[in-house]
Structure 1
Amino acid sequence: MEKRTLGRTGREVSVVGLGTWQLGADWGEVSEADAREVLEASAAAGVTFYDTADVYGDGRSERVVGRFLADHAGEGFTVATKMGRRAEQLPENYSAANFRAWIDRSRNNLGVDTVDLVQLHCPPSATIEDDATYDALDALVEDGSVAAYGVSVETVDQALAAIARPHVASIQVILNALRLKPLERVLPAAQEAGVGIIARVPLASGLLSGKYDASTTFAADDHRSYNRDGSAFDVGETFSGVPYDVGLAAAADFGALVRDLPGEVTSAQAAIAWIWQQPGVSTVIPGARNSEQARSNAAAGDVAPLGEAFLAGVRDLYDARVRELVHHRW
């Protein structure tokens, strides 16, 4: 699989990585055995970048990834975690003392002395704009607790504020066929600054797989059930903030574009490939609940250039179906 430099980390990572939210919580039950199979299948398929967070299953995802990492020492994998969402989302909670406590817990969960990349986990805008935030993160780099740091964001304005900081290595942002706004300013600014882009929610919480319809149901502990109104966290994380019925119609349009592609490409693979083929994207982090999904997602890293007709079709469906609902919000 093609590899790209992950911004200021200097690390080479696979263009398709693995997001491990599913392996912790909020997507229905995934056993530890299944979680390990997902990790192993991804690695065998060429995935070298793994993204987790301290809040996924209250550390369960980090611990599973840590045990996997220990069994693959020296194989060149890069593991990123995120911190900050275990506390009430107030700027004053993003303090140097809390950073120290959070990163030490993650280091213990992952079984590492130095975390490859730590990201603030969609913090308040005031935190992103505060000089003290970066002083505290710089201190973690200086003492060897982390090798590099980045920021996971919800909005374009947050991304641009973080990109302007000289030591921010990467930005994690929602980017998919139902969320095009980052293409306008975020990706060009990141390229110019040498900052990596980690694209999350590539399938719009599964909508772009083309496997859902109006009768599809989700488990009660799945955020696609309980966060459709944004009552648990930013609604943009669930179906990219698009109402479910609108998302189904947009996904059908996307599926029609995929059917015109040559070869055997699934809707999910096309959705992932569309992202990593955007200039400025370092890696895309789809999740997977089983090894079959993991292998299929990784295969998206081998999809041939989708072509201008496909790219134009994505822009058209976005303009027709979802722009007015999401473009002004994030």
Structure 2
Amino acid sequence: MPPHPASPPWDVRRLPRVDGRFFLVTGGNAGIGYFVAEQLATTGATVVLGCRSPVKAEAAMAAIRARVDGARLRALTLDIADLTSLEAAVAALEVPRLDAVVLNAGVALDDPPRQESVDGHELMFATNHLGHFALTAWLMPLLSAAPAARVVTMGSFAAKSERLDLDDPQSRHDYRPKRTYGRSKLAQMYFGCELDRRLRAAGSPVTSVVAHPGGALDSLTPSRPPVHVRTTGARLGAAPAALLVQGKHEGARPAVRAVLDPRVRGGELWGPRRFGLRGAPHRERLWDHLTDASVATRLWSASATLTGVDPSPANGGLNSAP
């Protein structure tokens, strides 16, 4: 979709003012989530950092305030992998509406053995997908109360080469950490696409957008002590990689644009411009496997059964899964 003729070009360093809006960023205390929160804080909105650790949330908010004068920040204790805690966490938000949520919190495990969440689900699938699926269900009344809220799902370039095994979605029979991670992020992205289809069918004002950060490395990310400290050695050693990938501050930009740009539409995929790995945020063609609505529908049904809730919009509220 071409930009409106009156719309200025998108400038990642001059974000629009959106005073009075409320944004929630899950996992906003570290990594890409931190930079999403930092960048959104420059807009005048109230940014809520959803974090498992209150101590880390406070450190992240202090780092943002050191760079953003007048930043409006709040912390929300949120353990996305604990499904039974999500209803109370949403109640603790105490906001009249939510203008956007960035579903960013995640875990990536490098080595076996397979781990499970407190609910008995494989940990990466539980954190990256199931928790966000359930959280969206609990947030739907607040999102529906906003005039044009957005759900922005943070996917991963690692998901592009993966395919879901819906007969073994939790890798009980064949657990390989890197593949399981990629599939958990792919599940998130399917969810973001399917959510938008259901929102459109229901005539909801809420839209769902999928974003991914491309290749985002700690070694190319500027320091934000104490959240992230980059050594001189790490910076110099990563210099050649900067030709292909980028830092996490830049990896945050597709999600930030998906939250703020009025030209972004539901069901779109946003990522870095250059080969999907680095550069300014732009709209990508939806990956071929993400267009398979039959896979998305099966995943949705399985997720609703596993979580006990269903984010399908119905009168702007929560549906309990059958």
Q: Please indicate, yes or no, whether the TM-score normalized by the shorter chain is above 0.5.
A: no
TM-score relative to the length of structure 2: 0.37
Structure showing the higher helix proportion among its residues: 1
Structure showing greater relative contact order (alpha-carbon pairs closer than 8 Å, 6 or more residues apart): 1
TM-score relative to the length of structure 1: 0.37
Structure showing the higher strand proportion among its residues: 2
